[in-house]
Structure 1
């Protein structure tokens, strides 16, 4: 088995949930890029992998995809609707001024580069701001990036919170401004599940598009 170049094995990463002190002015830049949903403490373990993944291999260390939310078309949707698809899950919101549109734009570039291999790839954009992100709002938003592969998901506060906790995603709404507007501090990890719904990889919003293309192509080949 080949050693994974420039990557550390996931078992050597310890999640420490660290919500920021949002009362500190200027400490966070709007949509804060939490490091893969949490602060990661890395050991010096030497790890080997069967495949030279370019993103972080989490196989066997995160739960399978499991949710029930409302899609941007207004219909109930669950993981059962994605059987046979390689699925990317990203938590964000439509009023996000920077990292969310940047990430969705990059993922649209990824699916374009995948060509025919993207036929069974879906990108789930899960809102952490359901009060404003109605299905209609989500539909207009995701269609602007990749109408073929993107699916906007929203729902009740409790349903979104449960899904976020399942994958150790942190988010918190800032104090509303005088005009009623507000921003939401949130994690920016991209979770990747194989065609059977098993958690396989985690990407960061600043990982290059080529890394996603490489790994998604390998997952697509498995199916």
Structure 2
């Protein structure tokens, strides 16, 4: 009987510890300071390939896709642009209000004209660039990693986050589509976003 009583005491102790932990997590989650803005919020002043100002407010009014990359990208960026184009084709009229933006992380080389030419073949994606400092502010606001990486011959490439950000018509972050994510899964996410 003593063994059973000891086991009962241990089990009740575990129940009390679990209850206290749950209470602590609840209090923490409901009392911690909430961020003042969502992902992408910030004071950055970029410009589209056509010369239109591009700020966080530019993402209000229509569901949007936002992707950070660069025009000298050997694989991730052209693949992602091809996938975005395929999503538009698969969605057809469902995507009539969907906007897509390609924001460069290499503004030293990617002028408005260059980034505009780079995305023109898609028929759907708007190229976005800006000064080094404004691109840095935008990347920080979106929690996008990017880094200049020297390569042989004195040139460089860029490492960068490869996800596509999804925003609803209010400009609120709704998730991401990962690089090379299954097309069916990506389309499900987009239909949910557009619905």
Out of 198, 201, 214, the position equivalent to 2:188 is 214
Residue 132 of structure 1 aligns with which residue? Answer: 109
Q: Distance in 1 between matches of 2:105 and 2:114?
A: 13
**1:155 counterpart = 2:130:** yes
Q: Distance in 1 between matches of 2:50 and 2:182?
A: 30
Could you state the TM-score of these two structures normalised by the residue count of structure 1? Answer: 0.66
SS of residue matched to 1:183: strand
Say which structure, 1 or 2, has more relative contact order (CA 8 Å, 6+ apart): 1
Q: Distance in 2 between matches of 1:87 and 1:65?
A: 14
Q: Distance in 1 between matches of 2:58 and 2:139?
A: 19
Q: Distance in 2 between matches of 1:196 and 1:219?
A: 11
Gaps of 5+ in 1: 1-60
Q: Distance in 1 between matches of 2:149 and 2:60?
A: 36
Deviation at 1:69, TM superposition (A): 0.8
Out of 87, 99, 105, the position equivalent to 1:110 is 87
Alpha-carbon contact 2:41-2:142 (below 8 Å) kept: no
Alpha-carbon contact 1:65-1:198 (below 8 Å) kept: no
Cα deviations across residues 134-181 of structure 1 (Å, max 9, x unaligned)? 11111111012x22x201110011111111112221111112542x43
**Which structure: greater helix fraction?**
2
Alpha-carbon contact 1:64-1:197 (below 8 Å) kept: no
Could you state the TM-score of these two structures normalised by the residue count of structure 2? Answer: 0.75
Q: Distance in 2 between matches of 1:201 and 1:162?
A: 21
**1:89 counterpart = 2:66:** yes
SS of residue matched to 1:174: strand
Q: Distance in 1 between matches of 2:134 and 2:184?
A: 33
Alpha-carbon contact 1:65-1:193 (below 8 Å) kept: no
Deviation at 1:65, TM superposition (A): 5.1
Alpha-carbon contact 2:102-2:127 (below 8 Å) kept: yes
Q: Distance in 2 between matches of 1:74 and 1:177?
A: 34
**Equivalent residues in 2 for 1:38-77, closer than 5 Å:** 62-63=38-39, 67-77=44-54
Gaps of 5+ in 2: 1-36
Residue 100 of structure 1 aligns with which residue? Answer: 77
Alpha-carbon contact 1:62-1:167 (below 8 Å) kept: no
Max Rg structure: 2
Q: Distance in 1 between matches of 2:112 and 2:40?
A: 25
